[in-house]
Chains A and B, each alone.
Chain A
Amino acid sequence: MKKKNAIHVWIRRGIGLFFLLLLPDLYTSAFNGVKYIAAQAGSAGVIELTPFISILIILLAFTFLFGRFFCGYACAFGFLGDLLYSLSAFLQKKIHKRVWQIPDKPRRILRYMKYLILAVILLLTFLQAYDRVSRFDPWQIFAGFLAGDFALKGKTAGFAVLVLIAVGMCFVERFFCLFLCPMGAVFSMIPVLPASGLRRDPSHCAGKCHQCEKNCPAGYFRSFPREQIPDGYPGLDKGESVNAEPDGKVRDQGYGECIACMKCANGCPVGNAGCGGFRSDSGTGTRKVHIRGNEWYILLLKAGILFVIVYLLNTRLGGSLQALQ
């Protein structure tokens, strides 16, 4: 089990590092595309197919097909946040013997903040007033660091925001992604093909396991006390784990908040949690093909597809992404 987990960690770090070195400004490019649309709309300007818009379309299309794989594996911010959190968790274990976890209730409430941030940024951009708050933009500073520019003159506001985000990333896993990321807010509103959506079948859960709930940074899987779940609900006999609302309806959560990090699938002892597509269960038990989505070849395939498409686009447009030049 430990060996299996190690592989998953290495793959995730490896893909993250790959994208950090070769395509670190995917995130900022896509978000610039979003701001460009708002700015043009506010100034009665034409919306042209700029390189930013092309990147945005690619990422949104990718998200439609494969879920928020970009968030979970290819985003530079996410990758560094994961590193910070691993370091912090390691230190916390050494000092306190346990890692502090944010309770679920505040996490469910705070995640709406990213929509507010997106709305404010879009409104300001629309009114052509974004310059007033652009000094708080932490991504420019971050991009500067990646390019080796550590001069902070005149960038204190953005640097302060970056530091606060880093602190948050240390104590809440994927703090920025869950609570603050405006691009994440956009991604969460994009429909995702059901085959790519993460889920679990409550009737296949192994007793009172809860591993997927513990591992998921977004708190995507939930369980409820027994008395809140109506009788006859699948999986009830195994314990309390059901991915349902208290009234028993299994609502499609739209896969919005899930960042497709696959930690649920990685940690599930019975291979239950995951994408669950391409299942071929003849019922006679002859052959079962489960693709959970966290297999190394699937992850490398997705990473490869994303990289190749962006790289092709970049060359065709004469190199708009700096890192690839």
Chain B
Amino acid sequence: MNNNAFWIKVLSLVLIVGAILFYSQAASAHTQISEANAALEKYADKLEQLQKQQETYGTAVSAGTSTGAFTDGTYAGSGKGYGGQISVKVIVKDGSIDDIQVTDSSGESTSYFNSAVSILDNMLDEQTWDVDAVSGATLSSNGLRNAVKSALEKAKS
């Protein structure tokens, strides 16, 4: 009896087992790569998160005041300016000061007040009421500072 069938089967078996082993190698390399990618993505997300946090809190920290987090909402405040009370409306969104609007500045003298109003932008940048007053418009500046300060007292969580 010839043994051709035996050797043909042996060859087929070797080829099939070889194919399975080869596939196994490729599959495990593939899994390693996807796992590495997933880990990288996770770290990238974490990094983004940390960067965002730093933007929000970073300026508060550098201003030296321990502002902490503000509660979202709209707060009214007032402070004594040059010719009476200056009223402001402070809008807190996402825990930070989003906008400051002057609701009443009738007692102020226009040109001085217009100079003082620029400190509102600084307040937004630095996320605090305690910014430098405009020299030459000190009373109006202080009025604005106190007004925003009193509003922010209410916004403190």
A289 at the B interface (CB under 8 A): no
A199 at the B interface (CB under 8 A): yes
B30 at the A interface (CB under 8 A): yes
B43 at the A interface (CB under 8 A): no
Most-contacted residue by chain A among B13, B27, B28 (CB, 10 A): B27
Residue of B nearest to A193 (CB): B6
Once A37-B20, A191-B13 are accepted as A-B contacts, the answer to whether A252 and B6 lie under 8 Å apart by CB is yes
Residues in chain A near residue B23, CB distance under 8 A: 41, 47
The DSSP consensus for interface residues of chain A is: loop
Residues in chain B near residue A254, CB distance under 8 A: 5-6, 8-9
The reply to whether B27 and A45 form a contact with Cβ atoms under 8 Å apart is yes
A270 at the B interface (CB under 8 A): no
- Min CB distance A27 to B, Å, is 20
B61 at the A interface (CB under 8 A): no
The DSSP consensus for interface residues of chain B is: helix
Interface size in chain A (residues, C-beta < 8 A):
19
B106 at the A interface (CB under 8 A): no
**Residue interface mask B3-31, A partner, CB < 8 A = 1:** 11111111011000000100110011011
B1 at the A interface (CB under 8 A): yes
The reply to whether B9 and A190 form a contact with Cβ atoms under 8 Å apart is yes
- Min CB distance A59 to B, Å, is 14
The reply to whether A253 and B5 form a contact with Cβ atoms under 8 Å apart is yes
Once A190-B13, A199-B1, A250-B1 are accepted as A-B contacts, the answer to whether A47 and B6 lie under 8 Å apart by CB is no
- Min CB distance B82 to A, Å, is 75
**Size class of the contact patch on chain B:** 10 to 19
Most-contacted residue by chain B among A189, A191, A253 (CB, 10 A): A191
The reply to whether B5 and A189 form a contact with Cβ atoms under 8 Å apart is no
Residues in chain B near residue A192, CB distance under 8 A: 6
Residues in chain A near residue B10, CB distance under 8 A: 191
Cα distance, A3 to B132, chains bound together (Å): 116
A194 at the B interface (CB under 8 A): yes
The reply to whether A47 and B1 form a contact with Cβ atoms under 8 Å apart is no
Residue of B nearest to A201 (CB): B1
B2 at the A interface (CB under 8 A): yes
- Min CB distance B16 to A, Å, is 9
Cα distance, A190 to B31, chains bound together (Å): 31
The reply to whether A46 and B24 form a contact with Cβ atoms under 8 Å apart is yes
Cα distance, A252 to B27, chains bound together (Å): 38
The reply to whether A47 and B24 form a contact with Cβ atoms under 8 Å apart is yes
Residue of A nearest to B32 (CB): A46
Residues in chain A near residue B27, CB distance under 8 A: 40, 44-47
What residues of chain B have their CB less than 8 Å away from a CB belonging to chain A?
1-10, 12-13, 20, 23-24, 27-28, 30-31
Some 14 contacts from A to B, beta carbons below 8 A apart, are: A41-B23, A45-B31, A47-B27, A189-B12, A189-B13, A190-B9, A191-B6, A191-B10, A250-B2, A251-B5, A252-B3, A253-B5, A254-B8, A254-B9
